[in-house]
């Protein structure tokens, strides 16, 4: 027995440890190039991990594989496809909103009340989303509320006057007049904010003014209520942009839009009650129900409000996913889609001059958007440098 123990000691290259003495370290296992430990990638797929034994300790193999390979989500794997889906849904919901909105005005011509319904459905949607935590409601204080109130007021005025125009004239004509919004934005930036607007940017707005003028002169559905309301809407949304810049906050866009919708709803309620309340109670509701029925009337109001909120929210989400230039071009194409589909769906007859004027105005907006986005990108690059 003693001879056997002595032979084993010499074969291991040393004596046995005394009582209380640490055992000598074993030599490291040989590593093979191009291979990893058991449970990892197949041979040749990836180089061996430096310093790791070919035979891991018990329980290590599964932890290593779990830490080494992270699952890739669908949104990260196909970003272009997801962005394209956002654009498609933005266009689709916008077109459906405009068509359904105009159909409602054909049998229920009360734009103040319908504007309130748009905001009311959106607010209920936001409250339900907050209740289930999608998204989590961001807290708001008095300082932020003071900053958001002017934005919401301008949003409310612009929204109501847009709907007054939609009810009074063809959808295509309202969107043609609203193509003047960049002109008002540039004017406000120059003369109110004191920002110097380059001559090339002003020059790009000339086709917009010319095109809208041509379209207005020969528009078959033209009336001053629709035209003036669309112009007031342009001015209101211009001031909304100005106040939005002053109310920049770290709050996410979904929560900001929710708070703006809530404030705008309270702003729109009094005019709707004063201007259209007596008529609605007298014959407005009864006439609409007699024409289409109670169920269709209520469902139309619900869905037009839902489409309004969702397309605005998707427009914001799309802006967060793409560069300003891409979003600007997408916004121009959206207006083209709305004008084209409204003409097809409602069969609006337009003169040749109106068609040419609309095309010139849209082309001018596209040129303006391209130049403006390039300027913003250059400013961003300078700040990074």
* Contact (Cβ atoms closer than 8 angstroms) between residue 233 and residue 373: no
User: In the prediction, which pLDDT does 5 show?
Assistant: 52
User: In the prediction, which pLDDT does 33 show?
Assistant: 45
* Contact (Cβ atoms closer than 8 angstroms) between residue 190 and residue 376: no
The size of the chain, in residues, is 385
Regarding pTM above 0.85, the answer is no
Q: In whole angstroms, what is the distance from residue 104 CA to residue 171 CA? A: 13
User: In the prediction, which pLDDT does 256 show?
Assistant: 86
Q: In whole angstroms, what is the distance from residue 137 CA to residue 126 CA? A: 9
Q: What residue has token string 């962005």?
A: 83
User: For 36, which DSSP code?
Assistant: -
Q: In whole angstroms, what is the distance from residue 56 CA to residue 379 CA? A: 54
Q: In whole angstroms, what is the distance from residue 163 CA to residue 268 CA? A: 12
Averaged pLDDT in 10-residue chunks for the chain of 385 residues: 52 50 51 42 39 47 50 66 84 91 95 97 95 90 90 95 94 86 83 82 87 82 90 90 76 86 96 95 94 96 96 80 67 80 81 87 86 81 81
């Amino acid at each position: 027995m003693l001879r056997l123990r002595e032979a084993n000691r010499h074969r291991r290259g040393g004596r046995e440890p005394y009582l209380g003495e640490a055992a000598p370290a074993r030599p490291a296992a040989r590593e093979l190039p191009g291979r990893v430990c058991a449970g990892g990638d197949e041979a040749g797929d990836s180089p061996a991990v430096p310093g790791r034994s070919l035979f891991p300790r018990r329980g290590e193999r599964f932890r290593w594989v779990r830490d080494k390979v992270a699952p890739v989500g669908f949104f990260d794997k196909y970003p272009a496809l997801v962005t394209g889906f956002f654009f498609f849904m933005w266009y689709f919901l916008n077109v459906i909103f405009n068509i359904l909105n105009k159909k409602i005005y054909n049998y229920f011509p009360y734009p103040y009340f319908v504007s309130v319904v748009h905001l009311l459905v959106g607010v209920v949607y936001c409250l339900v989303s907050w209740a289930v935590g999608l998204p989590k409601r961001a807290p708001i204080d008095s300082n932020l509320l003071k900053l958001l109130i002017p934005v919401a007021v301008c949003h409310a005025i612009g929204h109501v006057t847009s709907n007054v125009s939609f009810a009074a004239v063809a959808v295509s004509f309202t969107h043609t007049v609203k193509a003047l919004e960049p002109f008002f934005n540039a004017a406000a930036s120059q003369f109110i904010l004191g920002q110097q607007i380059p001559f090339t940017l002003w020059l790009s707005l000339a086709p917009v003014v010319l095109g809208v003028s041509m379209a207005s002169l020969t528009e078959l559905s033209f009336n001053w209520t629709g035209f003036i309301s669309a112009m007031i809407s342009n001015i209101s949304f211009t001031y909304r942009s100005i106040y939005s810049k002053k109310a920049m906050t770290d709050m996410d866009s979904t929560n900001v839009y929710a708070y703006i919708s809530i404030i705008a709803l309270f702003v729109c309620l009094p005019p709707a009650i004063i201007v259209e309340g007596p008529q609605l109670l007298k014959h407005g509701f009864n006439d609409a129900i007699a024409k289409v029925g109670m169920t269709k009337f209520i469902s139309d109001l619900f869905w037009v409000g839902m489409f309004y909120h969702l397309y605005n929210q998707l427009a914001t989400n799309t802006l967060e996913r793409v560069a300003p230039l891409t979003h600007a071009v997408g916004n121009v194409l959206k207006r083209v889609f709305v004008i084209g589909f409204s003409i097809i769906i409602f069969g609006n007859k337009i003169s040749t001059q109106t068609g040419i004027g609309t095309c010139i105005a849209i082309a001018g907006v596209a040129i303006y958007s391209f130049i403006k986005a390039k300027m913003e990108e250059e400013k961003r690059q300078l700040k990074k440098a």
